[in-house]
Amino acid sequence: MILYVISPIETEFTLQLAKQLVELVREKIGRFAAPDVIHNAPGLPKTRSGKIMRRVLRKIARNDHELGDITTMADASVVEQLFSIKPIKF
């Protein structure tokens, strides 16, 4: 399972914070829901109406640069940033 985290500007995303997030998910939801990979995302790919483009997130998780039709995306630069960020793996 993959977790995309958008942290506030004043919060530094560290390995310790990532571990705390994994533990929180295990405690509140269960071990089955704990993420294997965490991406510190600057934002999420959204349509102009504000819907999260989950299929694009799945392709980013697989490192598949063939995104298909993204003409409805509000800000395509978010996708480039997500591809460039190195995820934390557990």
Spatial distance between the Cα atoms of 39 and 90, rounded to a whole number of angstroms: 12
Give the HSE-up count for residue 34: Cα atoms under 13 Å, Cβ half-sphere: 15
CATH number for the domain including 12?
Answer: 3.30.300.30
Q: What is the mean pLDDT of residues 65-69?
A: 94
pLDDT band at 8 (very low <50, low <70, confident <90, very high): confident
Structural domain count of the chain: 1
Numbers of helices and strands, H then E, in the chain: 3, 3
- Predicted local confidence at residue 22, as pLDDT: 96
- Predicted local confidence at residue 77, as pLDDT: 94
Label each residue of 30-52 as H, E or C: CHHHCCCEEEECCCCCEECCCCE
Q: Residues 35, 43, 69, 38: what is their CA dihedral angle, to the nearest 10 degrees?
A: -20
pLDDT 10s digits, 19-60: 999 999 999 999 999 999 999 998 999 999 999 999 999 999
Residue 9, pLDDT > 90, answer: no
Residue 12 lies in domain: 2-89
